[in-house]
Amino acid sequence: MITIKQRLIREHNRAYKLWMRLLWRCYGMESPLVFMAHGFKMSIGECKNAFELSRDSFERFISFLVDEGWRALSQDELFRMVQKRQWRKKCFHLTFDDTYDTVFTEAYPILKRYGIPFTMFVTKDLVDKAGYITMEHLKLLAKDPLCSIGGHGLQHLVFRNLSDEEMREQCVGGKRWLEQELGVDVKTFAFPYGRVVEVSNSNRKMIRKMGFKMAFSAIEGSVRACWWTGRWFLPRVNVSETFVEKFTQGKRLLYKDCEGR
Ligand SMILES: [Zn+2]
């Protein structure tokens, strides 16, 4: 049985999600989208949930974006747009959470071929675990100017359940570890799980003071909503099989907004 507090958090999550969707519909393609992907499978039949995508669908998605004139933004370009709130049509930044090894083996060759910049949000404890990226592959990615490295915690925890000190350790400790191991500057963070259910107002306030330029949620929306979310809980768009199918067929209301350009 869930408590009244848990029920209220769920209702807050639901209302937040609807509000982000409403704003996204209002903005259409007038601002960049930050796409979020996880791991890759060899065929559509192997994809069991919305966080798995087949290699072929990913390639179709990327080639569609390129063919339709979408501009790929680096993390720094996205930051400048968000900071200045100077929006451009049809541009995107690509992010990968949890860093499955298939990002390196399947997605990276495609991204290299098209010259698409991207961010890897890395959880320390998942590196070198079965199915997740090896340190060897992560170091190779970190050396590529196309790749930015972002934090995703020391472990993959629900931040709402953490004390302030524990949260600081997850964020700042993870950032330091990545910077030492990879020799890169870690400027961004993605909240593990990333919904209002798992990330409290207090978590969102705290992340501002931890030396990141931007932080991301897993709530669907457009980054133009930053006037509401701030720079530390920016919405993203999950790239699932269903999303790729609808998006590449122009079925989304949002996509219709940029027809006849
Ligand atoms: Zn995650």
pLDDT score, position 259: 41
- What is the value of pTM for the model shown? 0.93
Q: What angle do CA 222, 227, 229 make, to 5 degrees?
A: 70
State the distance from the centre of ligand 1 to the C-alpha of 22, rounded, in angstroms.
Answer: 25
State the distance from the centre of ligand 1 to the C-alpha of 122, rounded, in angstroms.
Answer: 8
Of the candidates 190, 234, 160, which has an alpha carbon nearest to the alpha carbon of residue 10? 160
**Residues 261 and 91: beta-carbon distance below 8 Å:** no
pLDDT score, position 253: 53
Q: What tokens appear for 15 in the block?
A: 């209302």
| Beta-carbon count within 10 A of 132 CB | 20
pLDDT digits (tens, 9 = 90+) for 104-117: 999 999 999 999 99
Q: pLDDT > 90: what percent of the chain? A: 78
State the distance from the centre of ligand 1 to the C-alpha of 193, rounded, in angstroms.
Answer: 5
**Residues 199 and 217: beta-carbon distance below 8 Å:** yes
pLDDT score, position 43: 85
**Residues 125 and 105: beta-carbon distance below 8 Å:** no
pLDDT score, position 252: 61
User: Confidence band (pLDDT; 50, 70, 90) for 25?
Assistant: confident
**Long-range contacts for 85-88 (Cβ within 8 Å, ≥24 apart)?**
85/224, 85/226, 85/227, 87/30, 87/31, 87/32, 87/224, 88/31, 88/32
Give residue limits of the domains in the chain. 4-256
How far is residue 51 from each of residues 35, 216, 226, measured CA to CA in Å?
Answer: 12, 16, 24
pLDDT score, position 46: 85
For range 3-8, the mean pLDDT? 90
State the distance from the centre of ligand 1 to the C-alpha of 65, rounded, in angstroms.
Answer: 25
State the distance from the centre of ligand 1 to the C-alpha of 261, rounded, in angstroms.
Answer: 36
In the beta sheet, which residues pair with residue 121? 97, 150
State the distance from the centre of ligand 1 to the C-alpha of 97, rounded, in angstroms.
Answer: 5
State the distance from the centre of ligand 1 to the C-alpha of 23, rounded, in angstroms.
Answer: 25
State the distance from the centre of ligand 1 to the C-alpha of 197, rounded, in angstroms.
Answer: 14
**Residues 253 and 61: beta-carbon distance below 8 Å:** no
State the distance from the centre of ligand 1 to the C-alpha of 115, rounded, in angstroms.
Answer: 25
Mean pLDDT of the chain: 92
**Residues 216 and 236: beta-carbon distance below 8 Å:** yes
pLDDT digits (tens, 9 = 90+) for 64-96: 999 999 999 999 999 999 999 989 889 999 999
Q: Over 50: is that where the pLDDT of 129 sits? A: yes
State the distance from the centre of ligand 1 to the C-alpha of 44, rounded, in angstroms.
Answer: 22
Residues at Cβ < 5 Å from ligand 1 ion = 97-98, 192
State the distance from the centre of ligand 1 to the C-alpha of 149, rounded, in angstroms.
Answer: 14
Q: Over 80: is that where the pLDDT of 255 sits? A: no
Q: Over 80: is that where the pLDDT of 158 sits? A: yes
CATH topology of domain 4-256: TIM Barrel (3.20.20)
pLDDT score, position 260: 36
| DSSP 8-class letter at 48 | -
pLDDT score, position 8: 92
State the distance from the centre of ligand 1 to the C-alpha of 157, rounded, in angstroms.
Answer: 9
| Beta-carbon count within 10 A of 52 CB | 18
State the distance from the centre of ligand 1 to the C-alpha of 258, rounded, in angstroms.
Answer: 31
For range 208-226, the mean pLDDT? 93
pLDDT score, position 179: 98
